Chain A
Amino acid sequence: MAYGQKIIDHYENPRNVGNFGTQADVKGRRDIGVGLVGAPECGDVMQLQIKVNPGTGVIEDAKFKCFGCGSAIASSSLATEWLKGKSLDEGLSIKNTQIVEELSLPPVKIHCSVLAEDAIRAAINDYRTKNGMEARERTAASAH
């Protein structure tokens, strides 16, 4: 697959790789939200962790790990960049189509952006439910 420069850049220099602890560690931490989406047999799994300031509700840090193709790695790397400094509501408003546009994902790779959006929502909702809020769908409708 011939990819655009932005995908290659994220793939070769992924931003914010890592986590805030093992699966067991972060499970009990109320300031961390975890999203783990996809499945190995489908060829991609994304793990997104966000660290939220409980006082301001702002996402202070975000880390990812990804098993997947170059587009999946680039989509999750980009997601961490966009999440940092955003409020939870702002985070939920990120649409997969914005990721497609930013990275110029080819049509067969749109599902990678959908997965990244799923990971964002899962991480934010994990934080919300850990802190007594109900899980929320996207704040703005997006088409995909």
Chain B
Amino acid sequence: MAVKLPIYLDHAATTPCDPRVVEAMLPYFTIVFGNPGSRNHRFGWEAEEAVDTARGQVADLLGADPKEVVFTSGSTESNNLAIRGAALMYEKAPAGSGQPRGHIISAIHEHKAVLDPCKRLQKEGFDVTFLEPPKDGIITAEAVAAALRPDTVLVTIMWANNEIGSINEVPRIGALCHERGVLFHTDATQWAGKMPVNVERDSIDLLSMSGHKIYGPKGVGALYVRRRKPRVRLVPLQDGGGQERGFRSGTLNVTGIVGLGKACEIAKAEMDADGERILGLRRRLEDTITGRLDVTQINGHREKRVPNITNISFGFVEGESLMMAVKEIACSSGSACTSASLEPSYVLKGLGVGDDLAHSSLRLSLGRWTTPEQIDYTAGAVVEAVSRLRKLSPLYDMHKEGIDVSKVEWAKH
């Protein structure tokens, strides 16, 4: 049977809702529509019950207590609340004292939703160390240990990177932070729901996750906030009705929360089987592409990656034109021409991938319903597109003539 086009291989950007999730959500739009904050009638009670169930499902996925789950609008909000909320709550010196208000450790290849709150705090008087990863993209506990200071208030290191899938040493970094009495936050958007989490075993104080990355709806996510050893307090981002233990005022998004809960329940049950199947498909994709094309590079650590993401650079072709050539395959590129900023991927640059190869990268991310037929079609289409574009590429000619393209004196423009 012919493969249905286009093929969606951008699951690291977002996933379709699982039909089981949609089904679970539907009654809460029209029948059980109450405000969980309404304490004195059945409509409110039933909505609250649904939220409690979902809170349990999220907690169960994370190995947490349900009371430690704060519902948010998604990972961006969770990250902002965790980072800004913790920094302001635990600052070591008041603003304007001439001293740094406190020290935060993060990394240069974090998501913007972590980098930008850190940079705002930097402007407001905090010191921030942005660790630079080695070429494999992995931040180690040793790298964090070397950056710790007596006034460090927070370490925020993502679990798996969204562009290359590389896995940072989260449990070891967590253990280190607990040993030194420093709070540890991890942006687990690309990890939770795909790989096992246990906030106790992994020594995590704050963890961000999103519904739409794990076959749940968009616009809902969660922040895990540790309640004991230590009891973490946060300055809220917004004031109002004091919902979510005061961490996050605003009427709860009941339908979204029900969907997130269901998505977590399914993820927990199917994680192992899904992960193994997807890893097999990714290997097949990578092996075919790298076997049939020369001068390709898989970015990030070869093994220590989440199973669903691959990021491949193709020497001598440019990412945007490559994406145009594989227009039946929905994926992402690190190319400047595909970004609003006209800069190539800062994540790949941060790994020391040359600008030329950063421009030439594709991120393909697989999902729950990706089939072997889709993978074979994709591999064939990518090989054909790269081959065609290399026939057009003056750089590939130079490479074949034995000229080292990186040593040519290019006129910058």
Contact = CB atoms under 8 A, between A and B. Distances in A.
Interface string A24-45: 1000000000001111111111
Given A67-B317, A69-B318, A70-B321, A36 B394 contact: yes
A17 B395 CA distance: 14
Contact of B335 (A11, A38, A43): A43
Given A22-B401, A68-B321, A69-B320, A40 B395 contact: yes
Interface in A101-117: 108, 111, 114-115
B410 A69 contact: no
Contacts of A69: 318, 320-321, 335, 337
Given A37-B413, A38-B413, A45 B342 contact: no
B358 to A, nearest CB: 8
Given A40-B359, A118-B413, A11 B401 contact: no
A45 B321 contact: no
Contact of A67 (B395, B403, B411): B395
B407 to A, nearest CB: 11
A70 B324 CA distance: 7
Interface residues of B, number: 32
A37 B411 contact: yes
A118 B410 CA distance: 13
A39 B413 contact: yes
Contacts of B321: 11, 68-70, 72-73
A65 interface: yes
A45 B324 contact: no
Nearest to A77: B392
A23 interface: yes
Contacts of A40: 355-356, 359, 395, 405-406, 410
Interface string B239-275: 0000000000000000000000000000000000000
Given A39-B413, A115-B413, 8 more contacts: A37-B411, A42-B412, A45-B394, A45-B395, A45-B410, A67-B393, A67-B396, A68-B318
29 contacts: A11-B321, A14-B392, A22-B401, A23-B397, A23-B398, A23-B403, A37-B411, A38-B410, A40-B395, A40-B405, A40-B406, A41-B356, A41-B410, A43-B335, A43-B336, A43-B344, A43-B355, A44-B318, A45-B394, A46-B394, A65-B394, A66-B394, A67-B318, A69-B320, A69-B321, A70-B320, A73-B321, A73-B392, A114-B413
Interface of B: 316-318, 320-321, 324, 335-338, 342, 344, 354-356, 359, 391-398, 401, 403, 405-406, 410-413
